[in-house]
Amino acid sequence: MRKEQFNQLFPDTPAYRWKQIEQAFFVPTILSWDGVTSLSKEMRARLVDVPFMSVTAKQVMVSAKKDTHKALLELGDEQVVESVLMENARGDWTICVSSQVGCAMRCGFCATGKMGLKRSLTADEIVDQYRFWIQYLTPTPIPQLPTSNPQRISNIVFMGMGEPLANYINVRDTLNTWLTYTDIGKTRITVSTVGVLPRLEQILTDKDWPHVRLAVSLHSAIAETRKQIVPTSYDDFLPKLQDWARRYLKLLGNRRHHLTFEYVMLKDVNDTDEHARALSTFVHSIGNVRCNLIPYNLTDCEFSRSEDSQIAKFLSILEKSDVVATRRKTMGDDIAAACGQLIVLSKKPRDQTLG
Ligand code: SAH
């Protein structure tokens, strides 16, 4: 439920009431309106028809290593999105959330792109993916001790289904809600975007946009290659992105705040030495940018994964020219939960174990 809906139901109610509700939403042991004891019984009774949670798990798949969990979450209109929980290097959890059902961007290598766009998610439906995973990680509800749960979500990435900047207002509302009600700070949230230039521009002046980390899915610093793999690329995308990125870093860049370029490694398409040098030149023309190389996760398309040796060579060309670059660890590929594999299948995914 959003504030506007609450205010309609309870006009003239003091603002702290809504705050109490939002606080209760983030207590993992409170699973229904009955648990929101800060509200009177009468108020709770009037809320019975309002869903306490906007997503319901239809299925959770767990990878063989148990470090990746993928949930199929059903929405009020029976659409389904996927949301992923992954163990991170610090032994905490990172969640990977969806911002849309499907995606309109049609990136040639991404399974979600093949679905087309069904609709954008509401802010509740994005916020509640976090609430779902927090509840999932809280095995035995102990109402008196809501903080006794040692399992912690420390990071959130918008790398599930959809293009977050094509759902700007709801993503912004979601970010502000999480920043208010969870202990996750701005540097632990990453919005990954294909590069929707008008929205990137808006971020520079929008007082309500919280400056979380941004990652741009570049995938090539050579114009023809980028257009080939990301067909929705704007004309002159690279010089426009370069201009934007310089201004972004001027406004916000500091030792802690950088920009990330994501780069999916597609064999013989964007992984040659020439591509590495073009990426390095592009990065140096901008400034504080880090590169994250993503080994391609197989989907039903014409691309194949770069050889490990070529990924290593690409990485070393970047490093030798002083570009900060990392290779992303592939997780959850046995349950089709890795980057770009998120698509709602009509048949059961293979190799699954139910959690
Ligand atoms: N729409 C957003 C989020 C996409 S998912 C964006 O474009 O950034 C997060 C990352 O996974 C993006 O960089 C995306 O390009 C990448 N990705 C998509 N399909 C992939 C695949 N099959 N293998 C590896 N990475 C993939």
* Domains recognised in the chain with CATH numbers: 1-52 (no CATH), 54-335 (3.20.20.70)
pTM over 0.85: yes
Ligand 1 pocket test, candidate residues 262, 326, 327, 341, most atoms within 8 A of CB:
262
Cβ atoms of 118 and 54 within 8 Å: the answer is: no
CA distance 225 to 229: 6
Whether 82 is a known active-site residue: answer yes
Structure confidence by residue, pLDDT tens digits, 202-261: 999 999 999 999 999 999 999 999 999 999 999 999 999 999 999 999 998 777 789 999
Q: Can you give the pLDDT at residue 145?
A: 52
Q: Can you give the pLDDT at residue 150?
A: 64
> Is 132 strand, coil or helix?
helix
CA distance 331 to 79: 25
Q: Which of 96, 103, 291, 339 is catalytic?
A: 339
Ligand 1 pocket test, candidate residues 81, 94, 110, most atoms within 8 A of CB:
110
Whether 339 is a known active-site residue: answer yes
Residue 38 identity: S
Q: For residue 325, which of 290, 295, 296, 294 has the smallest C-alpha distance?
A: 290
**How confident is the prediction for the chain on average, in pLDDT?**
91
Q: Can you give the pLDDT at residue 353?
A: 35
> Is 85 strand, coil or helix?
strand
Buried b (16+ CB within 10 A) or exposed e, 114-125: ebebbebbbbbb
Total Cβ atoms within 10 A of residue 10:
15
Q: Which of 82, 125, 163, 262 is catalytic?
A: 82
* Ligand 1, residues at Cβ distance < 6 Å: 107, 109-110, 159, 163, 192-194, 217, 262, 264, 294, 296-297, 299, 339-340
Question: Which ligand 1 atom sits closest to the C-alpha of 217?
Answer: 13
Q: For residue 30, which of 207, 205, 173, 149 has the smallest C-alpha distance?
A: 149
Residue 331 identity: M
